[in-house]
Amino acid sequence: MEKINGFLLIDKPEKITSTDVLNKLKKKFKFKKIGHTGTLDPFASGLLVIAVNKATKFVEYLQKEKKGYQALIELGKISFSYDIDTPIMYVHNYEVPKEKEVKTILKKFLGKQLQYPPELSAKRIKGKRAYDIFRKERKFPILNPKEVEVYDLVLLSYNFPYLSIYTLVSGGTYIRALARDIGNTLKVGGILRKLRRVSIGNLNISQAISLEKVLSLSSSDLEKYIIPIDKALFFESYFLPQKDVKLFLNGNKVICNSSVDGIFKVYSKENKQFLGIGEIKKGILYPRKVIG
């Protein structure tokens, strides 16, 4: 399966880890390289973007893309992980928030903000995962807040204690931390009961197929579901003259005729072949990732 390069969109089921999905795919199809563009917690479902072979070099670009989620928050409860994966505790003596108050509070979470990651998360502290520190040392690690951005936050339904939302957030945003913060701001506490990822950049859950279906496919049938590397990346295109293609592929900077700076998908002008990702600065194209 070394000839297949691109992204496979899986609709991950609940009660399975993202690593389990990778292992099942690798065992079935014998990929040389495989990875994903962002993990989903075991209890969560939805869009898991799998990078196959040469596509693994371009994972970082999708990791930085905006991500869309549908989430169900249960108010009046708290847990150490801010979701249902650790023992749940009840909050007492609170007033049930009215829908008008909920809508007002949700608006306050729009935009850039500092978010404290969950103490039980894969966040690294001096090379160690936060959850590993807790398991081995039986104490919560101290995590620094990180700037995240909430681009959209829509109330889908509210029937206390259940609060259903859609949110579009920057890469690195923890939705269970968002559930925690919403619950705390409403002064009732809150945990993430369900989570479904519906988009990453311009990739949507409607394009994904179930893990069960993927595992039933032959290697030749699988190719029909592979999205080419360049089609998954959300950058403008730049076409390079043939005389400069080899320079670019060898990692050398190229003088170009563009007056616009930024990150681009780079193609051969002659045959429209995707070459990689480049960055243009002041009329010079710098290779950032080449297809190899």
Would you give the DSSP letter of residue 223? G
Which tokens in the block code for residue 256?
């170009």
Q: Residue 127: which residues within 8 A CB-CB, separation 6 or more?
A: none
Catalytically active residues are: 41
Residue 274 CB burial class (10 angstroms; 0-12, 13-18, ≥19): middle
CA–CA distance from 274 to each of 113, 234, 243, 267 (Å)?
Answer: 37, 14, 15, 4
